[in-house]
Structure 1
Amino acid sequence: MHDQDYDDELASQLAALLGHFTIDTAIVEEAFYQNGWVERFDATFFIGGTHRDINPAFLDDAFGTDRTIVWLGRGIDQLDARHPLSSRYGFAYGRVDASGEFTDVSYKDVALQKTDPVTAISYVTDENKARVMAWLEGPDQPEPYVIRSGNFWVFADIPMIQAGDSSAYLVLADLLHDALERPHAEEHRAMVRIEDVHPNIETAYFNQLVSYLYNHEIPFAVALIPVYVNPDTGEEIHLSDRPDFVKAIREAERKGGVVVLHGYTHQLYGMTGVDHEFWDNRVGAFPENETVESIRDKVESGLREVRAAGIDPVIWETPHYNASGLVHKVVAQYFSVAWERRDAPFFPYVVTYPDTGQTLLPETLGYIRGEEHPAADLLKVADKQRVVRDGFASFFFHLHIKESQMREMIDGLEDRGYVFAPPAEVAGLPYTPPEPPSWLSKFASGVSEHVGAFIPQGLKQMSSATVLTLLAIFIIFYYWGIFLLSRKPPSYKGEYDPDLLFVVVVPALNEELVIGKTLDHLLSLKDDNLLILVVNDDSDDDTRDIVLGYPQDRVKLIDHPRALSRQGKGRVLNYAFRYLMASDIVKQKGTSKVIYGVLDADGRVEKNLVSEINPYFADPRSGAVQVGVRISNANTNILTKWQNFEFLAFARLAQKAREHLGSVGLGGNGQFVRLSALASLGSEPWTDCLTEDLDLGIRLMLKGWQNHYCSNTFVAQQGVPTMKALIRQRTRWFQGHLTCWRHIPALSYRHKEPSARIDTIYYLLAPLMVFVFLPSSLLFIMWSVYFIATGASSLTFSPLDYIPAILIWYLFSFGAVPTVVWTFWREEKDMSGWKAFLWAHIFSFFYIFWFLAGIKAVIRLARGEGSWVKTGRVREVHQHP
């Protein structure tokens, strides 16, 4: 219903928006309303835009009905005067304000622009009957913008008037779900379209962008113009003239791109992409000679062109969104889906367009225009559009923008919780997802996009020996830099928070040899804010009975369901996470005040554990804290000594430095994570990655959380005393490390400190060094022995001539060793400096285990093997409670 005489534009816009709900609508001028019509419809919307008297029959029916009434704008004063609203609905008309001082509407704590200058304000008189759903913001106190009383809704203005992408029109779009009783779960999806793709584009750049989208698993669409025309140059380029372009489009389809037919030539008198096709830009009107036949000819010509090239467009987009209703009706005979803006200010979600029956996909953000309209501007709008519970963030870009701008937009939307969806699938069209890119493809793409462009041409032409030498020098400088950083005091430590609750989760699968002593150590921590949660992963030894022997007020045992058991540590940790999220403790404390600790069943903690970790969480941005790790049975044999050297020297040195770089990694033992940080990763924070700890730390960093390293306390764990078990353990770690390469592209462009991203990328790539330096070092030794044994004695040879080669070999093989000797010596207080120096050199050769494990890991990856192998334990004696 509307009061605008024969001008039903606003009513048509509202009817189009209501197309989201697949309902039948009728537009009626209120002057022609007849008694009882309200009862013939499930809901009646009244649009009041004038001062004229409203049909009394409608006023009577609107007040007395139990059907839904949604009142937009003026006229509510007439209804209140005829039937006082306060008695039945608990609100009353107040006043009209035309000052324009109300500039914003507050809805879901988001400020949206108010675009209708006239405001009809009502007030709640009985809060038991009516409540305010959105507020007007002005120079003085807030006033009601939307009031709901049961089935009666009142909007203080007409949201469609001059509506913009971040205006109060979004309030209407969202509340329609409630008014029409069509509930919809909170779901925020995104769509992206590459615009104005025609045969005269630079194919290489197009391919680059498509590869980026594919390798980052971003569904996309290509707005294809089949024929390029430029009257100024006389050019006319068809698809058949550019086989490389056709190949690029078909490859885009293979990678999941959906082709959108964007006109035939996208021009009438001017150049393709600049001119309109169904609008005469010279006179500012629809083409004078436009007919059904002329429209059909253009659409069919475009379809013939693309189909002859083996390309299948399934969606239509009107060039520049500008065409007559006749064009839309003709196009609807060829395409059931269009992707554009029409009539209504815009559609924040999918609608069925009333005039044509077409499905219209939403385009909500416009397009990136470089510095003039950068991605940051669109992202601000996307923030506001999240108030629509099932709204889309839908945008497009042209091929003249920089790739970095596209990445910024995609990254920003994902950071805001939007999930990219395939346009064809959203439209309900048949859609087959592409084969997912391999991790190797994603990694290679990331390197090519973000690293390759910065490699000087001269470096690419260097010999392998020169490159290896430069690489060795880089690594030496890197570790010396890390060493110097590690000597700095910790960058952050706040105040102790007595409200923090620490829940230490102990995954347990056949841990009877060690679980008792672990619980003894944990119970020795006399902290009231510490709970112990043991998750039995279907153990078939005495693990469960041992745990049940401890006081259940501090040690809680839960059983991992048998159907889900023995599938990896990550599954166990996720089960404990869901258990905690549903617990009364978390409901009382809140997720930000609960710290989820992970301790392996062979873990031993120090008494200062909680007191040292707690202050790091004073900063609300702190997501996780990793403590130091040492080997409890280090003196068993030389293998366990080497493992202790790794943790006390290399790992400790690197983690202390990474505290300053912002790239602290999480280990499988001794990690403590804020529950709200885990919740930000979804219902299953830990993945099935074989190094779920490393994977978790990287994903927390990418989500914007800060990981810290606490060097003042330790967790001790068992070392692996046999060679076979050690190689098996390191194979699992190496393979998990390689699978984490999938994060390198995200680390390359996410908005995070460059130092943190670069260091994390280096850490992920570091295993490659095992394949480079260890074989090279051993080959040098073997060559030297062979040279001396077979030929050196027959030459005029001085040992002094060999010193430079030995020095180069030493720097190549051990250049970084001195940086860890200091740390190792300081931790092993009963060891002399020279002894620590000697052990550091001996232990360097033990990296042959990493080399062997790396080969096995690569083979397992090639075979698609990803099974989880639990590290065995050594029996320990404990005092049973």
Structure 2
Amino acid sequence: MSPEMQSLALLNTAAFLLCVSFLAYVLSILVFHLKSRRSRGGSPDGFDWHVIVPCRNEATVVGDTVRRLLHDFPNTTVWCVDDASDDGTLAELAALADQPRVHVIRRQLPDARQGKGAALNAAWRCIERWLPADADRSKVIVGVLDADSRLDPQCLVALSGRQYFGRPDVGAVQVEVRMLQCAPRRHAPPTETSRWGRLLIRLQDMEFRAPIAAMQSLRRHTGSVAMGGNGQFTRLSLLNEIADEHGTPWHGALLEDFELGLHILLAGGRTEYCRESWVAQEALTRIRPLVRQRTRWAQGSMQCGRYLGKVLRSPRIRNSATLEIAHFLAAPWTQLFGTPVYLACLAVMTWYIDHTSDGLRGWWSAGGWGVPPLMVIFGIGPFALWGVVYRIRCEPQLPLHKALLLGVCHWLYSYAQSVAVWLAFARMVTRRTDWQKTARASDPAPQPDATRAVGRVAVPAQPRRVQPARRPGRSDGPRSIRPPRHLIHLATTTDRPTVAHVRK
């Protein structure tokens, strides 16, 4: 066999193995997803619920989000972290300072804008110091909610069920993510978008509620459920355990949610996925912000590859979970390898068509007719079937032909991830690790710091609490500043975060 034929055979074999492995994975997650059953809820009264809302230039959305949380969850404490916003976010939060269950944590430059994980760590430190020393941390549940989100009013009931926090070995739970523009009208804000924007919204909703939900269904069986950046809930006792070993619960990866899930599994905790409840977030309506978001996710996944050795050696993570985690961590690198393989196959096929007698007709009659069916089965099919699954499991009112068309669009939509992987790889090579917030179409242009116009905000006085003993190995963080004479001054001169403490 000539070297050219050997190279071609090797190329075809690599492409075939990539296609078969991908198709096998899709079928496996599909089976577990279709077999999943819903569980009953429980009583949330046995837990102390805290929700962290990180804010960086969220003036247009954070006020409504916090007010809805206060209305729907009357026994939940809300911690808003202003991460050096310059669009009036702090003024919006100041307007909520008279609410008895709202705490405002202010981070300032140069310590601020170090990523979402750093903002969450600031809130964790404040929660830990605010709680009485004798509080049962295993009953304190800390949730993370994006500033543009809507949480299912029955979420805490679902999370309190015996399958979730009703089980003492469950350390963290991720709820299903939906797109806010696709939520029921009472939850969804009025939007005016183009047809292209509406298609992107629907594709993102299908992505989270079909293939991603299916992946989580498989992970429930392997014991490797991943945490998401929105709608994750964790026991405070487990966050403290991770901090005792590593200094803080959240770390430096751009995919800080998945990184936290790995630490939970390495600590011996159990993670779960709750499809009985949901959190709705605002979908992106333009392709450029979408690619930027997925680039951050892909780079975060690459960064988490450093934990693979610990996962492989850990006696607390079973083999099935190790295999699934390894598959996830290898996914961006597989895409990097697959892109040139598929492009090379396309180039070779084009060359053969061009050099075959009678051109395309001769190539077709010589066996080329088998390529389109293979492309449909191994290329388009694994993506297109999710349109039908989405219709069956989530949107039964969606016409079948639109579901099929949506599935085909999902195949084209997946190429945005391929672009994002290469951009993430370029950022890794150039050692760029800055955290870039995903801008919304409705976000206004940055304005001068609005905190000077806030002045003093009256808040109820907070009695001095007994502070819990400092755990060894924990790094210093933002300390609570006691407001003098029932006032908290929100100025721009201090160099450490300011906390508006209010009585619970």
**TM-score range with shorter-chain normalisation?**
0.7 to 0.9
Superimposed CA distance per residue, residues 760-813 of structure 1 (whole angstroms, 9 cap, x where no aligned partner): 110111123333445555665666566557746356565593332222233331
Residue 839 of structure 1 aligns with which residue?
406
Residue 717 of structure 1 aligns with which residue?
281
Residue number among 111, 114, 136 corresponding to 1:590 in the alignment: 136
Work out whether 1:766 is the aligned partner of 2:314.
no
Structure 2 Cα separation of the partners of residues 853 and 470 of structure 1? 23
Equivalent pair of 1:535/1:576 in contact (CA under 8 Å) = yes
Residue 743 of structure 1 aligns with which residue?
307
- The 1:803/1:520 distance shift into structure 2, 3 A limit, reads farther
Equivalent pair of 2:12/2:345 in contact (CA under 8 Å) = no
- Displacement after TM superposition at 1:654 (Å): 0.8
Residue 573 of structure 1 aligns with which residue?
120
Residue number among 462, 467, 481 corresponding to 2:28 in the alignment: 481
Equivalent pair of 1:621/1:706 in contact (CA under 8 Å) = yes
Residue number among 806, 816, 831 corresponding to 2:372 in the alignment: 806
Residue number among 666, 670, 674 corresponding to 2:227 in the alignment: 666
Matches within 5 A, 1:643-682: 643-682=204-243
Residue number among 291, 294, 297 corresponding to 1:733 in the alignment: 297
- Displacement after TM superposition at 1:463 (Å): 2.9
Superimposed CA distance per residue, residues 187-213 of structure 1 (whole angstroms, 9 cap, x where no aligned partner): xxxxxxxxxxxxxxxxxxxxxxxxxxx
Work out whether 1:625 is the aligned partner of 2:186.
no
The one-letter code matched in structure 1 to 2:281 is Q
The one-letter code matched in structure 1 to 2:180 is S
- The 1:639/1:846 distance shift into structure 2, 3 A limit, reads same
Structure 2 Cα separation of the partners of residues 773 and 828 of structure 1? 33
- The 1:754/1:745 distance shift into structure 2, 3 A limit, reads same
| Length-normalised TM-score, structure 2 | 0.76
Equivalent pair of 1:653/1:823 in contact (CA under 8 Å) = no
Matches within 5 A, 1:298-313: none
- Displacement after TM superposition at 1:689 (Å): 0.9
The one-letter code matched in structure 1 to 2:215 is A
- Displacement after TM superposition at 1:601 (Å): 0.7
Equivalent pair of 1:513/1:874 in contact (CA under 8 Å) = no
Q: Secondary structure of the residue that 1:760 maps to in structure 2?
A: helix
Matches within 5 A, 1:92-491: 463-489=10-36
Equivalent pair of 2:250/2:260 in contact (CA under 8 Å) = yes
Superimposed CA distance per residue, residues 290-344 of structure 1 (whole angstroms, 9 cap, x where no aligned partner): xxxxxxxxxxxxxxxxxxxxxxxxxxxxxxxxxxxxxxxxxxxxxxxxxxxxxxx
- The 1:775/1:578 distance shift into structure 2, 3 A limit, reads same
Structure 2 Cα separation of the partners of residues 727 and 792 of structure 1? 42
- Displacement after TM superposition at 1:696 (Å): 0.6
Equivalent pair of 1:505/1:535 in contact (CA under 8 Å) = yes
- Displacement after TM superposition at 1:727 (Å): 2.1
Larger Rg: 1
Equivalent pair of 1:648/1:823 in contact (CA under 8 Å) = no
Structure 2 Cα separation of the partners of residues 803 and 864 of structure 1? 46
Equivalent pair of 1:625/1:709 in contact (CA under 8 Å) = yes
Residue 860 of structure 1 aligns with which residue?
427
Structure 2 Cα separation of the partners of residues 464 and 798 of structure 1? 21
- Displacement after TM superposition at 1:693 (Å): 0.6
Structure 1 Cα separation of the partners of residues 41 and 275 of structure 2? 15
Superimposed CA distance per residue, residues 490-518 of structure 1 (whole angstroms, 9 cap, x where no aligned partner): 59878535220110100111110111221
By relative contact order (CA 8 Å, sep 6+), the higher-ranking structure is 2
Superimposed CA distance per residue, residues 464-486 of structure 1 (whole angstroms, 9 cap, x where no aligned partner): 42243123212212221111112
The one-letter code matched in structure 2 to 1:747 is V
- The 1:791/1:735 distance shift into structure 2, 3 A limit, reads same
- The 1:489/1:797 distance shift into structure 2, 3 A limit, reads closer
- Displacement after TM superposition at 1:581 (Å): 1.0
- Displacement after TM superposition at 1:874 (Å): 4.1
- Displacement after TM superposition at 1:823 (Å): 3.0
Equivalent pair of 1:821/1:837 in contact (CA under 8 Å) = yes
Matches within 5 A, 1:11-160: none
Structure 2 Cα separation of the partners of residues 499 and 535 of structure 1? 26
The one-letter code matched in structure 1 to 2:265 is M
- The 1:639/1:821 distance shift into structure 2, 3 A limit, reads closer
Q: Secondary structure of the residue that 1:524 maps to in structure 2?
A: helix
The one-letter code matched in structure 1 to 2:202 is K
- The 1:612/1:495 distance shift into structure 2, 3 A limit, reads closer
Superimposed CA distance per residue, residues 702-739 of structure 1 (whole angstroms, 9 cap, x where no aligned partner): 11110100001111112222233222222211111100
Indicate the structure with greater helix content: 2
Q: Secondary structure of the residue that 2:242 maps to in structure 1?
A: coil
- Displacement after TM superposition at 1:819 (Å): 5.0
The one-letter code matched in structure 2 to 1:559 is R
Structure 1 Cα separation of the partners of residues 415 and 141 of structure 2? 38
Structure 1 Cα separation of the partners of residues 419 and 36 of structure 2? 37
Structure 2 Cα separation of the partners of residues 541 and 875 of structure 1? 13
Residue 161 of structure 1 aligns with which residue?
none
Q: Secondary structure of the residue that 1:540 maps to in structure 2?
A: coil
Equivalent pair of 1:494/1:619 in contact (CA under 8 Å) = no
- The 1:862/1:874 distance shift into structure 2, 3 A limit, reads same
Equivalent pair of 1:494/1:618 in contact (CA under 8 Å) = no
What value does the CA root-mean-square deviation take over the aligned residues?
2.7
- The 1:853/1:797 distance shift into structure 2, 3 A limit, reads closer
Residue 43 of structure 2 aligns with which residue?
496
| Length-normalised TM-score, structure 1 | 0.44
- The 1:715/1:800 distance shift into structure 2, 3 A limit, reads farther
Structure 1 Cα separation of the partners of residues 62 and 41 of structure 2? 33
Structure 2 Cα separation of the partners of residues 757 and 699 of structure 1? 13
Q: Secondary structure of the residue that 1:816 maps to in structure 2?
A: helix
Structure 2 Cα separation of the partners of residues 766 and 464 of structure 1? 20
Equivalent pair of 1:632/1:718 in contact (CA under 8 Å) = yes
- The 1:800/1:868 distance shift into structure 2, 3 A limit, reads same
Superimposed CA distance per residue, residues 518-547 of structure 1 (whole angstroms, 9 cap, x where no aligned partner): 12321231442x111111112222212222
Structure 2 Cα separation of the partners of residues 783 and 521 of structure 1? 57
Structure 2 Cα separation of the partners of residues 516 and 702 of structure 1? 37
Superimposed CA distance per residue, residues 11-54 of structure 1 (whole angstroms, 9 cap, x where no aligned partner): xxxxxxxxxxxxxxxxxxxxxxxxxxxxxxxxxxxxxxxxxxxx
- Displacement after TM superposition at 1:679 (Å): 0.7
Superimposed CA distance per residue, residues 571-629 of structure 1 (whole angstroms, 9 cap, x where no aligned partner): 11001111111113x53532101111000111111111111112211222111100111
Equivalent pair of 2:41/2:159 in contact (CA under 8 Å) = no
Work out whether 1:608 is the aligned partner of 2:154.
yes
Ranges in structure 1 where 5+ consecutive residues have no aligned partner = 1-461
Structure 2 Cα separation of the partners of residues 491 and 676 of structure 1? 27
Superimposed CA distance per residue, residues 111-165 of structure 1 (whole angstroms, 9 cap, x where no aligned partner): xxxxxxxxxxxxxxxxxxxxxxxxxxxxxxxxxxxxxxxxxxxxxxxxxxxxxxx
